[in-house]
Structure 1
Amino acid sequence: MAMLKSILFNFLLLFSSPFYLYSQGKVIQNDFFSQEIKLKAKEYKDDIDFYKAQYYFTKKNWDSTLVYSVRQLESNRNSAVTDYCYYFRGFSFKEKKLFKEAVKDFNKISGKFKFYCKVQINLGEIALEQNKFKDALFYFHAVEKPGNYNCNFKKSNAFHNIGLCYLHLGQFDKAETYLFKASELQEIEKDTLLLVGSYMDIANLYYNQFKDSQAIPYFEKAYKLAAKVKSFELKQNATLNMAIVEENRKNLQKALVYRKEYESWRDSLRDQNKVWAVADLEKKFAVKQKQKEIDVLEAENKLKNAERNMFLIVSVLLLLLFGAGIYFYREKSRSNKIILIQKNELNELNHTKDKLFSIVSHDLRSSVSALKRSNSKLLENLENRNFSELDVLLAKNTAITNAAYNLLDNLLNWAILQTAQSYFYIESLHLHSIVEQVQYNYKALLLDKEISFENKVSEEVYILADLDSLKIIIRNLLDNAIKFTPSKGRISLYTDCDIEEDFCHIIIEDSGIGMSPSLQKEILEESFLLSKKHSDDTTGTGLGMQLCKNLISKNNGKLKIKSVENQGTKFIIILPKSKKNG
């Protein structure tokens, strides 16, 4: 029990501290200080570097803030803005998690700085982030003193951080005092997000002292309140706390319910973090593009100032008006064409989607129905001790299950590809090793159908492709070859890298049932999707083939088919060679 409580204690401290540091940082960006630096920028508008530094600081572009603030400091043009520039640099480094550099610049700020209390807040937050709790207390207590009117900080945040420091230091009485002060203010302010964290820290305070009867009500308060907030992280932490509490109470049924809910919130948080990461990359790209536009405009303005005269201004205005008219006319025409094309594509996608859902639901239902019937027979034969029939039924169940699993796996990969969530990294790949890996997963199925498989790929062959997508392509085509090849047939996989200079042909050949020319043509069509039942164990939706075509295209390759009915099939994947070839 003591070990569980120790784990809970460290877990809560780990998740509580960063949340409140982040919350205070948001307050700093939107208070009186923001208005003050804008006024300073207007007052010293001739100091271009300072003006740009404050502009990018307010826009939270930390890299540009660092560049222009250091330019201003190196120029030594105006000592009145020196402290502001050091503050810009310290805060930017802090946001970039470069704490050593942040502390160095914050310590260069004069004690006479109008907003010196903000410097102390930031130093306290950095010390708390680095687990230097005594240093953090020194700064937070300094801010707590009366007379710090320019800070415009939340007292509840300061009290909570002080309580958190004392909690880490094991001074529980002081921690209790400050955590309760913080929670009381947050209840008045109706700050639900911060209040959830406060309740969890108060519960942790008691729980760490083995005061379970006092701790558990606060865990329950935090859990109930977390249901009202949008933060997946808070929901996850509050639910985990309740799971641990119920485990310690030996109420394993409730603990299991909380554990399942915790895993659900954890998965949601991971998905949210992925979305945020993509959004952050898009934002950075947009900022860079905007900066390029700004630089171009500045260059154009300088050119206009050098060449400005009355006649040129009138001429330029006329040309601009004429050009703008043509531009907007062309843009409108192009936009209308794009909208029409997108509408047609959307209609086609919707049609494909509806057909896909119909096919997949039908095939899954058929597989499940077949599995139910087979299981019923399995139970009957088990009761009658007909063991010879059991082997046949178990093999059939395995085939049905594998078919349903492959269908679901292809559906997932197809959905990821359609929603542009897949990540591609083209690299040089050793083809022979990859084929060996994929083949290993099908050994049991090959043995069951007594199909011989040969990996004839030379160990010297390297191709340029994305590893995950290449495995999916080979797996689907090999699965199809096994599915449509009768027992005691043969399958071979080999390459021909001499046909084209820059591409390698990867051939999967089987001795299966083959296909007609019309079916080959249909498969290679862009919107190919069908559902045909060739036998009791072979069902095809065309989804796997559609997925293969999309992935091959995304890997800068092509797909070809050579087949004769009842004589076998060759699927030819054409992908770029790597420089390691030959």
Structure 2
Amino acid sequence: MNYFEIAIQEKANSLKSEINFKKAQDFYLKKEWDSTLVYSMKQLNSNADIEIRQYCHYFRGYSLMMKGLYKQSRIEFSLINKSFQYYYLVDNNIGILFYFEKNFKKAIIYFLKAEKEILDHKDESEIADIYTSIGICYLHLNQYAKAESYLKKDALLNPKQVTKSVIRSNINIANFYYEQYKDQKAIYYFEKAYNLSKNIKDFKLKENTAYNLAVVEENRNNNKKALDYRKEAEDWKDSLNNQNKIWAVADFEKKFAVAQKQKQIKVLEVENRLKNTQRNGFFFAAIGLLLILTGGVYLYGQKVKNAKTILLQKNKLDELNATKDQLFSIVSHDLRSSVNALKTSNAKLSATLETKNYDELHHLIIQNSTIANGAYSLLDNLLHWAMLQTKQLYFHKESIHLYSIVQQIEYNYKPLLLDKAITFENSVSKNIFIFVDLDSLKIVLRNLLDNAIKFSNENGKISFYTQETNPDFCDLIIEDNGIGMSENTIKELLQEGELLAKKSNSEIIGTGLGLQLCKQMIKKNSGTLVIESEQNKGTKMILSFPKTKTNG
């Protein structure tokens, strides 16, 4: 925990009556940016004093920056007075915003403003970060002497301890030399970072160091070593994904255990009340007969009512069990198909390694990655679908800049688009703001773009654009020129309660679960979905969402 994080904790503890401020700083420390934005705005609306307002504007500026909303972030930072005790952090973050915009000269100006204050606090993690930021900016400006000076300052911090910061410093210096084609010096630092990473438990950093050496060995035409390092990087990536899943399951089990304890407490409370009633039974003997008669009538009515409730619950449970059985049957079939395809491909990979046919090796590695990504998407959709059915997904609607979200989704899918040479066009209006839950919107757009790529041909085209047919709603169209689908297929996909849909392309593994998940999430966001398609001519997915009320 750095100097500022300790300070805001102490500030929150001293302001026990300001509940919204305490929640805002708590969510800020947990890196839950949406919740930080909600409670910091609540605090600002409660007429807080000037100092608390400065903290809240900082929370909001930093959260918006982390969410990729740089323009709104700069606006929040501009509302902070220079008398603010931690204004050097504002300068540092404005420098980061200019860095993200590739305006490195301006970024350096703000980083240098922040450097003196950060050095005074003697927080080594903050000092390392500012040295790294300045060094990388000078590197982008080709001012190599200054870049080397700052990057080496960073590397000299904590030289006797193996920390994530030290490893990143070595990676930065390696990249610095690599940029200048000083390969021998670069390789020394790449290898040093790789060896140091063996002493830490950060899977992401281990993956990064292994990947760097894979690229180095490829450039040296040492393909066997490069393949070994790439395999190691993929193994660390898989370990990181598994760790995240384990944490998610552990969190779910913790919540379940708490719920079970609460049920036990309620049962004990009921039992205690019954014992008290029995203890006082003799005192109420005089009116007991009357109560028995009245209670009998009441219990009979409750029994009839409970019988109806149980019957309804039984019917609902039968329906859910049927859905579950169908889901497990098809998902297990598709997972088995994925694993079988992966086994077959790996067998070919082993055989090809012996023949040293590198073109075929490259093809098989891409094929393995595609199969693994397909299976991962299936499991990810299954998890979200299960959470949606059990009402565990948290929905928080807010004003969302649609163009920026589409831009983020395009960036995430760039490798898949390049793999099939698909042209992506983002023609979404930059003035559109919609009122939806951000996380569920991303899930919907990712699934629909994934399907569009999956069912598009090589050298195809996918377009995102908007049209406004209703003043209160915005229509987002996702159009591709792929294989399309028949009217019967569209009816099956849009049919209410139809969990799974068969796909006509037998080479593509899928269950239709992703589209069913999309339909439910669109509905929860007060939106609609329409599909227009023609076989061999492409498909249009037309999503309609409510606009933010302040939009004209």
Identify the TM-score tier after normalising by the shorter chain: 0.3 to 0.5
TM-score (norm 2): 0.46
Q: Radius of gyration: which is bigger? A: 1
TM-score (norm 1): 0.44
| Higher RCO (CA-CA < 8 Å; seq separation 6+) | 1
